[in-house]
Copies of this chain bind each other. A is one copy, B any other.
Amino acid sequence: MRAIVCRSLGGPEVLEERSLPEPSPGPHDLLLEVLAAGLNPVDLKTRETGLGFERSFPMVLGYDVCGVVRGRGEAVEGFGEGDRVVASPSLVRDGANAEFVCVDARAAARVADHVDPIELAALPLVVIAAWEALFDRCRLRDGEVLAVLGGAGGVGHVAIQLAREKGARVVTTAGTDASIALCAELGAEEVVDHRDPTSTRRLLEACGGGADVVLDTVGGDVFEQALDVVGVDGRIATLLPGESPRLAETLFVRNASLHYEFVGVPGITGRRPESQGRILREACGLVLADRLRPVIHATFPLGDLEAAHREQETGHVHGKVVIRVGA
């Protein structure tokens, strides 16, 4: 099959086209013919660092997929040949930047044939991350205030919509005029310009003095802002290993919680794969009901994966970059 691989760890230039054998499904796997594959920051990090796991090369990236079932392992239930499926492939197996990919059926969701595979391929990883962070871990409730730091990115733009759907008030930060407009359009009540040197004070005001839940999608200095903004009894979820020398003293006096959300854990460890399948089924239901809209920043054909990586690296992606494979 046709695939774009990393021939080694490195910059976008390590990506190249190869012909690889089709993967063979394990007992719980679906073999999918890939229609489209979403791109995420974790693709870039895996290409650069291997993400801390032993890797063999060539390595195929691509951790979001919409595809069609072409084979399945003997333990698979509930899926048949020709079904359209969305899933987030494991971070430690070959991904969806190829004509075929294997995914754990327990972590996958069937979807109707009439929904655009580009939109569906934009969804899995970011919607699982946002859902786990906001609902499973921070237990965001109706009427609470959520601050999304980095509201226009992949996870951020989905988090705004899921939180509004839950009845939460949402304030966000964003760093360009276009991303500020996108956050407002998706339902953020106030969008604070991250370029404004008083952005932390403005964010605190917008939150009424402290956020119930803070979602940090950016990390680094932005994690400091999460500490500034979280309120008493508040919860921070971060998608990165955020840290600060004032973390403990800040959170202790506020009786606060900190959740490190790493969406790849079930795929890596084999723990509770079905929980991500459940989230994907509910999220696809929201898309079908027009209550959740993945925003497509740009699409690229599989052969232009290197250009897609370079676009993602600008840090100015609104919503998602998606790779067209069979679609």
A interface residues with partner B (beta carbon < 8 Å): 52, 137, 232-233, 240-243, 245, 247-249, 251-262, 265, 269, 271-272
Chain B hits for A245, CB < 8 A: 243
Docked Cα-Cα span, A206 to B89, in Å, equals: 33
The 7 closest A-B pairs by CB, nearest first: A243-B248, A241-B252, A241-B248, A255-B265, A252-B260, A255-B262, A251-B260
Asked if B253 and A262 make an inter-chain contact with CB atoms under 8 angstroms apart, the answer reads yes
Q: Separation in Å of the A276 CB from the closest CB of chain B?
A: 12
User: Is the Cβ of A262 less than 8 Å from the Cβ of B257?
Assistant: no
CB distance from A92 to the nearest CB of B (A): 12
Q: Is the Cβ of B232 less than 8 Å from the Cβ of A241?
A: no
Copies of this protein in the assembly total 2
A233 pairs with B271, CB closer than 8 A: yes
Chain B contacts for A240, CB-based, 8 A:
252
Chain B residues, CB < 8 A from A272: 233
- Interchain CA distance A264-B253 in the complex, whole Å: 9
Interface of A is mostly: mixed
- In the bound complex, residues from chain B placing their C-beta under 8 Å from that of A261 are 255
CA distance A257 to B271 in the complex (A): 17
Question: Do B241 and A260 have beta carbons less than 8 Å apart?
Answer: no
CB distance from A266 to the nearest CB of B (A): 9
Whether A269 pairs with B52 at a CB distance below 8 angstroms is: no
Can you report 15 A-B residue pairs in the complex whose CB atoms are below 8 A from each other? Answer: A232-B265, A233-B271, A241-B249, A242-B248, A247-B247, A251-B258, A251-B260, A253-B262, A254-B260, A255-B260, A255-B261, A255-B265, A256-B260, A257-B259, A257-B260
Beta-carbon nearest neighbor of A261 in chain B: B255
Q: For the complex, what is the distance from the CA of A253 to the CA of B260, rounded to whole Å? A: 8
* CA A302 to CA B163, docked complex, whole Å: 53
Taking a contact as CB atoms under 8 Å apart, the answer to whether A253 and B52 are in contact is yes
- Interfacial chain B residues near A249, Cβ < 8 Å: 241
> A252 to B262, alpha carbons, bound, how many Å?
6
Report the separation of the CA atoms of residues A247 and B243 in the bound assembly, to the nearest whole angstrom.
8
Q: How far is the CB of A119 from chain B (nearest CB, A)?
A: 27
CB < 8 Å neighbour of A137 from B243, B257, B265: B257
- With a CB–CB cut-off of 8 A, which chain B residues contact A262? 252-255
Select from chain B the residue with minimum beta-carbon distance to A259: B257
Separation of A240 and B265 alpha carbons in the complex (Å): 28
**Whole-angstrom distance between the alpha carbons of A257 and B238 in the complex?**
10
Smallest CB separation, A12 vs chain B (Å): 25
| Contact A269:B137 (CB < 8 A) given known A242-B248, A248-B241, A260-B248 | no
